[in-house]
Every structure is written in C-alpha cells, then in structure tokens.
Structure 1
Amino acid sequence: MRYTLRQLEVFLAVAHHENVSRAARDLNMSQSAASGALKELETQFDIKLFERAGKKLRLNELGRQLWPRAEALLGQARDLESGLQAHQELGRLKVGATLTIGNYLAVNIMARYMAEQPGAQVKLEVANTATIVDRVLAFDLDLGLIEGEINHTDLELLPWREDELVVFCAPDHPLAKQKVLSGDDLLAATWIVRETGSGTRQTFERAMHGLLPGLKLLLELEHTEAIKRAVEAGLGISCLSRVSLREAFRRGSLVPLAVPGRDFSREFYFVLHRQKYRSPGVERWLELCRQSPE
C-alpha cells in the first residue's frame, strides 16, 4: 500500500481547516510534519489535491472526489481500532441535534446509550437545522437529528417520529379567552418566532401560507426557552413544538390556541452522509431513537 492512514488524516484535516498549521494543531503534529505528509501523498501518486487561494488551501476537483472516500475509509479504520481495543465497544460518537430535539429528546437517548456502553464518548452538538446539515455534509458529525426537510444528493434523510407545532400564549393574554383563532386574529397578533434556518420556522411559515407577509413579527429568537419566557411576559404569541411545551401547559404558565384549517404537523428526521461509514455506534443510536417513547 503506497499511502498511510496518517497521510489521509492530514489530507482531511487540511481539507477541513483549509490551512496546514491549523490542521497540524488539530492532529498534534508539527506544521512541517503535516506539510511533509501531505506533500508525500501527492508526490507518491503524482497528483495535486489543493489549490492555493490567498492563505487558504482549497480542494480542487480531484481532492473533492477523494474527500468522502477518505472519510469512509478512516471511519472504518477507527471502528476497527475501537473494536480491537475494547472488544467491540461502540466508541466515540458525534451527534448533532436541532434545538427542540437536543433540549427535549436527545439528552435522554444519550443517557441510555452511555448507560449500556460504559466508557463510550458522545459529543452532542445543538444548533438549528441548517447548521446541523452543514456539519453533517462536512463530515464533522456522524449523524444529525433534525426538524426541517432538506434535499441534498450527498445526504440520506430517514423519517424518525411525528411532531406538531402549537400556537400558544400567556394565560392572561386577550386571545387566551378565545376557543378558536381566525385568520384576522393571527394577523392582528404580535408574534415571537424562531429564527430563519430552523426547522420550526420552516414549518411555521408553511402553516401560515397566505398570511405570512402580513404577520407582525416582533422578535426572532434562537432558543425555545427564551421564546417561552417572552410569551409568558406578555410580549406576544408564538408557535413551537408540542414536545417543548408539555411542561408549561401542565403548569398552566402557557396555554394552547386552536387554529383550525392550518397544518402544523411535521416529522423529525435522521440525516446522514451517504459516503460516511455507518459504525455500530451510529446504528445503535438510531435504534435507541426509534425505541424512545412518543
């Protein structure tokens, strides 16, 4: 074999950071050693994998073709190493989850995963749908748990579970006394919503089709808890996942509002890179997610 796994690690680190010195720090190598490993890989096969753009090294077409195959090969190598060291220990897992899923569902799944596999290392990154998708595409995450629908040839989207958004307000809000909200009520209300790029915002905009240009959006916030606090304070009404509102509805600090004729249903999905090796740890995580209660 004319290449080494270390050379591939350097190639992938440089592809990720677009800089040899940062790649070297990431791999705990000297800059000269990292530069030498990359040069040796290119020299051995008489190829060029990067183009220089100012201080950055950007993948050329050949480098982009090699990237997913190198990621898959290294993923299998790491899984083999984990199996040799710990007799099929599930090993490290990097999971991305959107804010609703990360805050209200993923932590319990992570606890079950780590309880049945002592010593397993799980990193959970919580961000909006657009960010999680970008991280999966860049091979920074093993898989993502997302709320929004996406379409990308390099990604596999698997349905997980059903969800729905609920319009809600504070119990002393004028709309709390109404059993049903009309289109005029929705247009007259002041709204506090999730930011663009979130799956919740995507579903909200779809449900509000025809009214969206006329809605009064007072605040756009990235965190569901901040939105709930703002609504409790009487700043307006909002629309979030029922999963995130169950406890507040039980306490009575927030109340649901009926909006007939509008579809607030959606699905949660798993998103995986088609070219990334699916380790036993990933498969077990998917299984635990599917076993989780509704």
Structure 2
Amino acid sequence: MHFSLKQLQVFLAVAHHRNVSRAAEQLSMSQSACSSALKDLESQYGLQLFDRVGKRLQANELGDYLRPKAEALLAQAQEFEQALSQQPDAGELRVGATLTIGNYLAVSLINRYMQDNSTGKVKLEVANTEQITEQLLNFDIDVGMIEGEVQHPALSVQRWRSDELVCFCAPGHPLATHPQVTDADLKEAVWILREQGSGTRQTFDRGMHGLLSNLHISLELQHTEAIKRAVEAGLGISCLSRISLEDAFKRGSLVPLQTPQRDFSRDLYLATHTQKYRGVGLNRWLSICEDYANS
C-alpha cells in the first residue's frame, strides 16, 4: 500500500475547504507539509485529484469519485483504532438537523444516545433543509434530519415520522375568535413566514396552492422562536410545526387557527449519503431515531 492515512486526511481536508492553507490549519500542519502530502499522493499514482479554479482547488471527476471511498477508509481506521484502545463506542457523530427537529426533538435523541454511549460525542448543526442537504453532499455531517422533501441521487432519504403545520396568531388578533378561518381571511392577513429553502416554507407553500400569490407576506425569518415572538407582539400571523407550538398553545400565548380546507401535513426524514460508511455510532443513532418514532 503506497498511500498513508495522513495523505487521505489531507486529500479530504483540501476537498472540503478547497484551499490548502485552511486544510493545513484544520490538520494542525504547516501549509508546505500539507501541500507536499497532497502532491506526493498524486505523484505516486500519476494522477490529478483537483482542478485549480482561481485561488481554489476544486475536486475533479476522479477526486469526487475517490472522496467517499477515502471517507469510508478513514472512518473504518478510526473504528479500528478505537477497538485497539478498547473504546469501540468512542468517536464523534455529526448530526445535521433542520430548525424544528434541532430545537425541539434533537436534545431528547442526544440524551438517549449519550446514555448508551457515554464516551461518544455528538456535534449538532442546526440549519434549514437546503443547507443540511449541502452538508450531507459535502460529507460535513454523518446524518441529516430534515423537514423538507429532498431528491438527490447521492442521498438515501427515508421517512422518519409524521408532522403537520398549524396556522396561529396572538390571543388579541381578530382571527383568534374565529371558529374557522376562510381563504378570504388568509388573504387579508399579514404573514410572518420562514425563509425560502426551509422545509417548513416548502410545506406551507404547497398547502397554500392557488392562494400563495395573493398572500401579504411582510416578514421572512430564519428562526422559529423569532417568528413566534413577532406573532405574539401582534405583527401578523404565521404557520409553523405543531411540535414547536405545543407549549405556547398550552400557555395561551399563541392561538391555533382552524384551516380545514388547507392540508399542511408532512413527513420528517432521515438522510445519509449513499456512500457514507455506517459505523457503530451512526447505526446506533439511526436505531434510536427509529425507536423514538415508534414510541
């Protein structure tokens, strides 16, 4: 075997950062040592893994093909090292979750994971569906928990559990006393919504088919809690996951609006890269998620 694990680490770091100096910083190496390791790897096999685009290094077709294989090799090497040190469950699991899942469900899942694996670590990245998808494709995270529908040939996406969005307003809003809200009411209202690219917005837009172009959208915010505070302050009405609204409904700080003519049902999903190596930690996480959905 003519390559080293260090060379693979350099290759993956450069592919991730598209920059040798940033890759060197991540690996605590000098820039020259990092550059030499990459050059040696390419010269040993007489190939080129990157194309230079301005000041960036972009993985070429061969680099993209080899990247998931290198990811898998390193993951297996780390598991082997953990087994040698008699700590087979050690290691960091990188989880990406969209806002509703990350803010309202992930902590319980992390707690269960840590109870089973006290030596392991979980790094949680919370972002919208579009961003989580990009991170999965770039191998920045091991698993994505998303609210939006994603179709990509490089991703394996499976249904996790059901969810629904609910329209809501402040207790003092004129619509709060309506037993049922009509489409005419929805068109007259001022809306505060999640941003484009989020799974919540994707479901809302689908549920408002035929009406979307007539809505008065005054604010688009990236954070669920900011939207809830804005609605509580009387700035408009909104539509978010029931999961994120249950406590507010119980307190009476927000009021659900009945819109039976609109379908806001959806599914939540688990996503992994099709070529992602599934080690002990990832398999355990997926099992916990399955148990949680069935409980």
| TM-score normalised by length of structure 2 | 0.97
- In structure 2, distance between residues paired with 1:82 and 1:223: 38
Deviation at 1:225, TM superposition (A): 0.6
Q: Secondary structure at the match of 1:121?
A: strand
- Residue 161 of structure 1: aligned partner: 161
- In structure 2, distance between residues paired with 1:150 and 1:179: 35
Whether the 8 Å CA contact 2:90–2:119 is kept in 1: the answer is no
- In structure 2, distance between residues paired with 1:90 and 1:196: 38
Q: Secondary structure at the match of 1:133?
A: helix
Whether the 8 Å CA contact 1:8–1:70 is kept in 2: the answer is yes
Q: Secondary structure at the match of 2:28?
A: coil
- In structure 2, distance between residues paired with 1:51 and 1:102: 36
Structure 2 residue 15 is matched with structure 1 residue 15? yes
Whether the 8 Å CA contact 1:12–1:70 is kept in 2: the answer is yes
Q: Secondary structure at the match of 1:92?
A: strand
Structure 2 residue 119 is matched with structure 1 residue 119? yes
Whether the 8 Å CA contact 2:191–2:218 is kept in 1: the answer is yes
Structure 2 residue 66 is matched with structure 1 residue 34? no
Structure 2 residue 71 is matched with structure 1 residue 71? yes
- Residue 179 of structure 2: aligned partner: 179
- In structure 1, distance between residues paired with 2:84 and 2:268: 35
Matched-pair identity in %: 60
- Residue 220 of structure 1: aligned partner: 220
Question: Which shows bigger deviation, 184-193 or 47-56?
Answer: 47-56
Structure 2 residue 150 is matched with structure 1 residue 144? no
Deviation at 1:231, TM superposition (A): 0.6
2:77 is matched by which residue type in structure 1?
Answer: A
Q: After superposition, what is the alpha-carbon deviation per residue over 1:90-133, rounded to whole angstroms, capped at 9, x for unaligned? A: 42100000000000000111112112211211100111111111
Q: Secondary structure at the match of 1:167?
A: strand
Deviation at 1:87, TM superposition (A): 3.4
Whether the 8 Å CA contact 1:90–1:280 is kept in 2: the answer is no
- In structure 2, distance between residues paired with 1:135 and 1:84: 31
Deviation at 1:282, TM superposition (A): 0.8
- Residue 258 of structure 1: aligned partner: 258
- Report the count of equivalent residues: 294
Question: Which shows bigger deviation, 160-169 or 46-55?
Answer: 46-55
- In structure 2, distance between residues paired with 1:57 and 1:155: 24
Deviation at 1:85, TM superposition (A): 2.1
- Residue 97 of structure 2: aligned partner: 97
Q: Secondary structure at the match of 2:91?
A: coil
Whether the 8 Å CA contact 1:169–1:256 is kept in 2: the answer is yes
Whether the 8 Å CA contact 1:75–1:276 is kept in 2: the answer is no
- Residue 132 of structure 2: aligned partner: 132
Runs of 5+ unmatched residues, structure 1? none
- In structure 1, distance between residues paired with 2:86 and 2:118: 11
Deviation at 1:272, TM superposition (A): 0.2
Deviation at 1:147, TM superposition (A): 0.2
Deviation at 1:83, TM superposition (A): 2.5
| TM-score normalised by length of structure 1 | 0.97
- In structure 2, distance between residues paired with 1:131 and 1:86: 36
- In structure 1, distance between residues paired with 2:92 and 2:210: 46
Whether the 8 Å CA contact 1:194–1:200 is kept in 2: the answer is yes
Runs of 5+ unmatched residues, structure 2? none
- In structure 1, distance between residues paired with 2:162 and 2:54: 47
CA RMSD, Structure 1 to Structure 2 (Å): 1.1
After the TM superposition, which parts of structure 1 deviate over 3 Å for at least 4 consecutive aligned residues?
none
Deviation at 1:65, TM superposition (A): 1.3
- Residue 55 of structure 2: aligned partner: 55
- In structure 2, distance between residues paired with 1:230 and 1:87: 48
1:113 is matched by which residue type in structure 2?
Answer: Y
1:244 is matched by which residue type in structure 2?
Answer: S
- In structure 2, distance between residues paired with 1:134 and 1:212: 27
- In structure 2, distance between residues paired with 1:104 and 1:84: 37
Q: Secondary structure at the match of 2:46?
A: coil
Q: Secondary structure at the match of 2:268?
A: strand
- In structure 1, distance between residues paired with 2:166 and 2:257: 7
